[in-house]
A and B are shown apart, each in its own frame.
Chain A
Amino acid sequence: MSQKQYWKGLEELQDTAAHKEVVANEFKEPLPFDLSDSLLEATTPRRDFLKYLGYSTVAATLVASCEMPVRRAIPYAIKPEDIVPGVPNYYASTFVDGGDYCAVVVKTRDGRPIKIEGNERSSISRGGTSARVQASVLNLYDKARLRQPYADGKEATFEAIDRSVKDALSSNTKPVYILTGSMMSPTTKEIISQFVAKYPTAKHVVYDPISYSGMLLANEASYGKRALPSYHFDKAQTIVSLGADFLGTWLSPIEFAKQYGAGRKVSVKNMKLSKLYNVESMHTITGAAADHRATCKPSETGAVAIALYNAIVSGTQPALASKKLNDLVNGAAADLKKGNGLVVCGSNDVNIQIVVNAINNAIGANGNTINWGVTSNYKQGIDADMVAMVDAMNAGQVGAVMIHGVNPVYEYHDNKKFIDGLVKVPVTVSFADHMDETAQRCKFIVPDHNYLESWGDAEPKTGYYSLMQPGIAPLFKTRAFQDSLMTWAGSTTTYGDFWKQYWTNKLGGQSNFDAALQDGIIEPATMPTAGASFAGNVADAIAKVQVAKASTGLELVVYQKVAIGHGGAWSNNPWLLEMPDPITKATWDNYACVSPKRAKELDKGGSQDVELTGINEVVTAKRVIKIKANGTDVELPVVVVPGMHNDVVAIAVGYGRNAKIGRAAANMGKNAYPFVSYNGQTFAYNTGVTIEKTANKYDVAITQTHHSYEGRPIVHEYTFEEFAKDPNVLQKEREAEIGEFAHLPWVEEKKEKKGAEEGAEEGTDKTVTGANSKMEEGFRQNGTLYPNYESPGIHWGMSIDLNSCIGCGACVIGCQAENNISVVGKDHILKAHEMHWIRIDRYFSGMPDEPDTIQTMFQPMMCQHCDNAPCENVCPVSATNHSSEGLNQMAYNRCIGTKYCANNCPYKVRHFNWMDWNGADSFADNLYEDGRRDDMNDDLTRMVLNPDVTVRSRGVMEKCTFCVQRLQDAKLTAKKLGRPMQDGEARTACQQACPTDAIVFGNVNDTTSAIHKLRKEEHRERTFYVIEQIHTLPNVNYLAKVRNTDVIVGGNEKTDDFMNQHI
């Protein structure tokens, strides 16, 4: 090929001088600046210098500021079909912890569970949750979870452990014990029976640290069934609880709270209110909810049951320790005889439970409020079995013990004996997911999955099934407990396959299985109801109860806190540890609860020991006392609890854990399980005790320092009788306070004139509802000098029913999980730095020294989203402002943290980020002044954060947002569907978590909405706004409490000494 040349033009061909010049010069035009070698000698040195300076400064700044820390983000190489970034997926599943059950829906975002909601399809938990259910998602991301199996305290592989265990089991001649908590899973039971088939010496022992053996055995004696019936608190008109905290901790509190709440929605149209009689020795939330409450020593529970039985059967006048008790028994007997009664008892004593069964039988509860057609499987443990197993272990008759779901070294009352026995067992296996006290002493640890990583199922009631499906692949090298058993039994399938096969077969085909998995539950269409014939020997039981004479001295009660429960992994859950106890409002510790009078008596010599009073505003320290019982003693701080029996000391279990359980659990409180005793038949959770004052003090972090509402009209309560007589009593009170604004003469004149001009008829709504609206509307417009802002479209509002709120704290934790609320730790709680967006104010009224007079009420308090918010106009930078939908909003990025808004908030519901709780500000590792690191800011724990909610940085104010992310989501969903948002589509986290439906939320402007109807029609009479007279115009209303009792002691100087003493 010829080297053909092409020219760009004649210049190039001719190669003129001009062309040469052009080629030599790269730039045709002269450059705008002089590129001389020496800057200073250039023709315009000053300008060039400035240019270079400017360029280099900007360039350097840009480059320097562009350096960002490397953030890890792993995109999907292949996008899973069902995951859309930013869109949550929901999986129906089942929460199970020992015998605690809740049907749940797991919300996952980008493959990680971030929130647990109740499954509304379940007829058992009916969408309700508890604080523990809400907090369970944090357990998944617990840093202290075991991350691999261990053998002899060293990391091991499953294969190695499988080999060792199989060898040991096959060469073993002594019996193998599988020790579990109450087991509701049918497939797991099946697998255990397969295991037993393979190793015929094997035994399955069920052990409940909080035992219901007494009831199981009593029911066997009474009805021939070793089972628990289904209770129907919703059907009961009269409920008598003898020490059964059925709203907080007893048996199935979510289910019972839901049922109980249904009977408390009193209104003019529904003039029905259940009546709750409560006899207890300490103060529980059931006691707080009670209409009639009396206290007795725990050893007197039997006597009360007998007195009630006699009063019902033979009309015998009770002769109990106090007049209030006698009155209560008489009243309860009379009401129970009217029918629709239900008596429950928290005692674990067989004979007492037989008496209770006899009462229920006598009042015809069986087949009505107690359903024997469907029995409950919540608790199955028989205490004697456990004791026998421990004896066998000590006798060297046990070849192997496999422990799942329980932690006897911590929970068993005689843990020394258990440890001694455990040493004598050649093969010990723990399936614990934490290095708990028992796991630490086992040869093999094969950690089980968290329930959010597991397949599984539960049969909470006979015939009622609930499926468990994982929300995430196992985070660590853990293995399902069932897989371990199957492997050791020689099976080759996995539990997942077995489970699927089991349910597909049972349900009859894949599509049914899929549907069931989607629903999460499998239930019969209607609940079969049946009674049972009582065949117990009451006389014998009464005789036996009477033999056990009440002790004369102090008695100790071992109880479960609403938050922590029996212990377990909950002891290391920072959310639950920081949740204020509903009654004591104390966080992070356990303590000795005593009555105010008892505490005063401890203060011998009248030394004015402020540490022994309920006054904790100034002095946070509490006096430490020494508690001696059952041959053991502990030292714990005293917390004064009004409403406790004067001769009772109560201590919660779940504290005093080994430091290996986790950082949060370490060094908090003392273990109370050693105070449990075994009476030869069942465990007893109360015992005689002596206490003595020590010289030590200990800080207890209590979030609410004042007990009385001081008679202020911030809460309203009245008796059912008063309400029935004049339902409008509260509205008249409101009218007196704000009514004058409804008819200001000059405003009326103006309106009349306007009306006359337009020829329009002035609204002549003469009904009470109309008057009410006029009052509210008038106050809104005339109660201020400022203009009134219209709120067209949506206007959000919330209602909280003080009558159905039981103070359980599910909303507190639900809100915490939804809104990424920080845990602040005990030191900051002591400084009142807590962050909970919703707090539950607890007010006592009555005579502090007379526990039977105490009435307790709860008032959830969160941002009231005032339409005329005092916080908004004081912010110098408008960081907090009002939306057209009535929301009081926070622009975190704009907030500079003057705290003025918090000061000016009359409800004190604004919370400041005092520290860098979330690792979100510019300084690294500055959460603790001593440079400590925290588990909450770990990569693992941060997985629980809700990506829809901003993580707040240090130095900004935050508060309840009405879950604005959910409201936006609901509006957008409706918009995408091309229709208006419907009532119930936008729900706040607290509302959803509430087991008693005390919280109603929605668009007030929508006249068909539940909130509108509630305020204007159904519950108009009980509606009030807290301190509305200061014209904050809150968007949260409360419904007054109606107690089905004779007299309200609160706010009355004669009956409410808290109010006079100002404590």
Chain B
Amino acid sequence: MHLKYESFVREPLVDGDKTYRQVTEDIISPIEKKPGRMWYVGFFFSVALLMFGVFSVTWAVYWGLGTWNVNRTIGWGWDITNFVWWVGIGHAGTLISAILLLFRQGWRTGVNRAAEAMTIFAVMCAGQFPIFHMGRVWDAFFVMPYPNSRGALWPNFNSPLMWDVFAISTYFTVSLLFWYSGLIPDFATVRDRAKTALRKRLYGVASFGWTGTVKNWQRHEALSLVLAGLSTPLVLSVHTIVSFDFATSVIPGWHTTIFPPYFVAGAIFSGFAMVQTLLIMVRKILHLEEYITIGHLEAMNKVIVLTGSIVGVAYLTELFMAWYSQVPYEMGAFKWRIAGPYWWSYWAMMTCNVISPQFFWFKKLRRNVPFTFIMSIVVNIGMWFERFVIIVTSLYRDYLPGSWAYYTPAWPEIGFYLGTFGLFFTCFFLFAKYFPVIAVAEIKFVLKTSGQSYKQKMEVIDEKSAEDFVHEQEHAH
């Protein structure tokens, strides 16, 4: 499985002089201590936002969706924009945990736990929107293919919304399982270190009686691989299916075959940006700079510049295709995106998503933490605008000019969006407090090959000539 030796060209994945014990201490001890003041302040604001979100949603459910400003022409506004945005954000976590695992990328160990948590919370947030954008949310269960007394009444399997239901729920389930299975050894560590009976008991239950035997590890590894195998197609399929919501329609600006790859690239783009935002904060607050190193940030910035460029190419392709098709409605849709009353959203998208990530071609900027932080937020703003542009600026001027309209969100729509931030950060704060934010077991796995102190120990050996080394090895015993 693992190389015993790693080249010095690769920078260490764990900085500082770490032992296994020290790793455990660094990552587990925040769970055992009382959280700091910043945690309480952050948690309070998150819960407050969540409560406002609950209020906004309750308002819309009680009075009706007329409290929103979506209308006759623009049936989806902030609701579905936010849904796609949140789903997209989730993708980075799955990519890191599944695809990078299969590709044996060691650097994922520092960030995968938090990224996966982010995935799960983001999908939870995303799921709220398709549910509460329904006019009759109390009948939402109609979308499930359940046996019923209404005759053989089934959902419509032709509808992309139906596919969404399965895509999102599968995605959530698999991600949750994957995340949780990774957590089991670490929960056992917390349990074993626990000084209080309650903690021992709770983490004991959570760790499913993990004993750390070889058999345990073997099965754990096998499970991880299986789940990674299941998750890998999901990275591609979930956002592909979300893009089908638009691509299978007849609306100019939606009806394009480029959507699936373009959406997936965009999802990874925004997901990595969100991971950056979170991890830069987490490493600062929980003092984990030695585990989440500049090298980690740089690796993710490289992904950002790649996917950002893919997205940029997709935007230009769309424009080209609109012109090349010579379909008046298609050309109109793009003309009105760029130069219509919503021009600002298109240009916000272009600036944030296409131009700004290009700065990451410079190594200095890739390794600059404050710049990366700002950039991660810019990218997420850009990706939000991308979804807004796709959804709203395709609908507002479609075929018949007689039905064209405009849309600005009403307060319950904004409140709903803020509320999902509340939900996300409430979950994330609880996660940061009660869960090991870095996969302890996995760090230990790479520690002795990629830890800074271990690499330094190898320097002595590395400097020897090959003959000396062979000689030494042959006469070692």
Residue positions of A touching B, CB distance < 8 A: 617-618, 704-706, 708-710, 712, 714, 828, 831-834, 839, 841-843, 859, 861, 870, 873-878, 894-900, 902-904, 906-916, 922-923, 926, 929, 953-957, 1026-1027, 1030, 1032
Contacts and interface: CB of A to CB of B under 8 A. Distances in A.
A203 to B, nearest CB: 52
A843 B249 contact: no
A899 B75 CA distance: 6
28 contacts: A617-B405, A617-B406, A704-B403, A709-B401, A712-B328, A832-B71, A833-B66, A833-B71, A861-B402, A870-B249, A875-B159, A877-B143, A878-B156, A894-B142, A896-B143, A899-B135, A900-B76, A903-B76, A903-B395, A904-B251, A906-B398, A912-B65, A912-B135, A914-B64, A914-B65, A914-B68, A915-B66, A1027-B329
A877 B134 CA distance: 12
B404 interface: yes
Interface centre among A877, A895, A913, A1030 (most CB of B within 10 A): A877
Contact of B399 (A617, A705, A714, A898): A714
A877 B156 contact: yes
B158 interface: yes
B250 A1030 contact: yes
Contacts of B139: 896
A619 B144 CA distance: 42
* 3 closest Cβ pairs, A-B complex: A897-B135, A955-B135, A841-B402
Contacts of A916: 64
Contacts of B137: 896, 955
A168 B217 CA distance: 109
Interface in B50-91: 62-76
Nearest to A954: B64
Interface string B352-386: 00000000000000000000000000000000000
A1032 B251 CA distance: 12
B75 A900 contact: yes
Given A874-B161, A902-B75, A828 B400 contact: no
B72 A902 contact: yes
Of A828, A834, A955, which is in contact with the most chain B CB atoms at under 10 Å from its CB? A955
Given A708-B401, A710-B332, A839-B402, A911 B135 contact: no
Contacts of A895: 135-136
Contact of B135 (A834, A841, A878, A913): A913
Nearest to B141: A896
Nearest to B162: A876
B177 interface: no
Q: Which of A894, A904, A915, A923 has the most CB of B within 10 A?
A: A904
Contacts of A832: 71-74, 405
Given A706-B401, A834-B72, A876-B142, 17 more contacts: A617-B404, A704-B402, A709-B402, A712-B329, A832-B72, A832-B73, A833-B72, A841-B401, A841-B403, A873-B159, A877-B142, A878-B155, A903-B395, A904-B249, A926-B63, A954-B64, A954-B136
Q: Output the residue of A894, A899, A915 with the most chain B CB within 10 A.
A: A899
A876 B75 contact: no
B136 A955 contact: yes
B140 interface: yes
A705 B64 CA distance: 25
Contacts of B271: none
Contacts of A705: 404-406
B250 A870 contact: yes
B250 A1032 contact: yes
Contacts of B159: 873-876, 900
B441 interface: no
Contacts of A1032: 250
A617 B392 CA distance: 14
Contact of A896 (B135, B245, B401): B135
Contacts of A833: 66, 71-72
B10 to A, nearest CB: 49
A842 B400 CA distance: 11
Given A714-B399, A832-B405, A908-B400, A618 B341 contact: yes
Contacts of A876: 142-143, 155-156, 159, 161-162, 165
A831 B71 contact: yes
Contacts of A900: 75-76, 159, 161, 245
A645 B138 CA distance: 55
Nearest to A902: B75
Q: Kindly name the residue among A704, A831, A957 whose own CB sees the greatest number of chain B CB atoms within 10 A.
A: A831
B248 interface: yes
Contacts of A910: 72
B108 interface: no
B133 interface: yes
A923 B61 CA distance: 10
Nearest to A931: B63
Contacts of A913: 64, 135
B143 to A, nearest CB: 5
B160 interface: yes
Nearest to A1030: B250
Nearest to B400: A714
Given A908-B398, A955-B64, A899 B133 contact: yes
B156 A875 contact: yes
Nearest to A1027: B399
Contacts of A957: 135
